[in-house]
Amino acid sequence: MKKITINVPASVANVSCGFDVLGFCLEEPYDEMTIEIKKTKGVEIKILNEKSIPTDPKYNVCGPVAFAMMKKLNFKYGFKITIVKKIKPGSGIGSSAASAAGTAFAINYLTGNKFSKLELVKFAMIGEEIASGAEHADNLSPVIFGGFTLVRSIKPLDIITLPSLEKLYVVISHPLIELKTKDARLIINKKINLEKAIHQWGNLGGFIASLYTKNYELMSKTIEDVIIEPQRLKLIPNFKKIVAAASTYSIGSGISGAGPSIFSICKGKGNAELVLDAIKKITDKGNIEYNLILSKINTVGIKTIN
């Protein structure tokens, strides 16, 4: 095998109560990545439909991931990476994570599947660090493992796969403004109130229990963020309006990753369609253009195409 084309999905990190630890994988949108072995050394990156991302492998998240894997494998050749980017950069649904995870997945595939999924996340984290300025795996883990994941620990890296509820659908409301994860991280206070932390970890514990017990009512109560969301609100257009519009038919809504996208988790496709309609009434009114996306939870993560 010298070439592989893969479907690399978007993902939602944080999920309100699980800042930097919780995430889940989406079916839509996804990037298409073709990675092929080339006879010359080095990494060549082509992005077919997006001009804003650097293609120099030093500055593109794919580069350092590929270099690290090549070094570990003592790989003599190089890779050509071609991306059809459907996950908008800076949208808050894991655009850079997809590129980093896709690179790790594909190179592993093309070189004989020597690495575990956990090791793939570790390689991909090298790319994520470039994009966000912090080592984190909350988007990468669901893309590589599928479904819902918990990054229990970064050092050492420990990822727990959680039950993925088949009934869950998600509406993503993406305002077409770009928000760099780096910038969204900068405004967050490094100190927090113990009282709020207790509130937050009570909710995270409850969210995880809700996945195991398929308790949507409980899940609904736990999708709440008393620490990060209040600080990032000002960066997210129409946040309160969209959350309110979604609330009748959704389980819960919050900032997706560092934003500016908002996720709304729904039970069943019918409810998700109602939520999408309700949000559309809000977003049609304003000056900001929106991409509204309806997606199922992706329980497997990256898929090979053909």
- Least Å distance, CB 78 to a second copy, is 37
Whole-number Å distance between alpha carbons of 133 and 212 = 33
Q: Which residues of the shown chain bind a second copy in the complex (CB under 8 A)? A: 18-22, 150-153, 158, 160, 162, 188-195, 197-206, 208-209, 212, 218, 221-222, 227
Pairing of strands 3-13, 303-304: antiparallel
Whole-number Å distance between alpha carbons of 74 and 77 = 9
Whole-number Å distance between alpha carbons of 45 and 62 = 8
Asked if 273 is an active-site residue, the reply is no
- Least Å distance, CB 163 to a second copy, is 8
Burial of 174 (0-12, 13-18, 19+ CB in 10 A): buried
Toward a second copy, which CB reaches closer, 35 or 159?
159
Toward a second copy, which CB reaches closer, 222 or 295?
222
**DSSP helix/strand/coil, 82:** strand
Toward a second copy, which CB reaches closer, 150 or 245?
150
Pairing of strands 290-296, 168-175: antiparallel
Q: Which of 103, 128, 229, 283 is catalytic?
A: 128
Taking the alpha carbons at both ends of the chain, their separation in whole angstroms is 13
DSSP calls for 97-158: HHHHHHHHHHHHHHTT--S-HHHHHHHHHHHHHHHHSS---TTHHHHHH-SEEEEEETTTTE
- Least Å distance, CB 136 to a second copy, is 9
Toward a second copy, which CB reaches closer, 14 or 295?
14
Q: Which of 34, 149, 181, 222 is catalytic?
A: 181
Asked if 128 is an active-site residue, the reply is yes
- Least Å distance, CB 137 to a second copy, is 11
Toward a second copy, which CB reaches closer, 33 or 144?
144
- Least Å distance, CB 115 to a second copy, is 22
User: So which residues are the catalytic ones?
Assistant: 128, 181
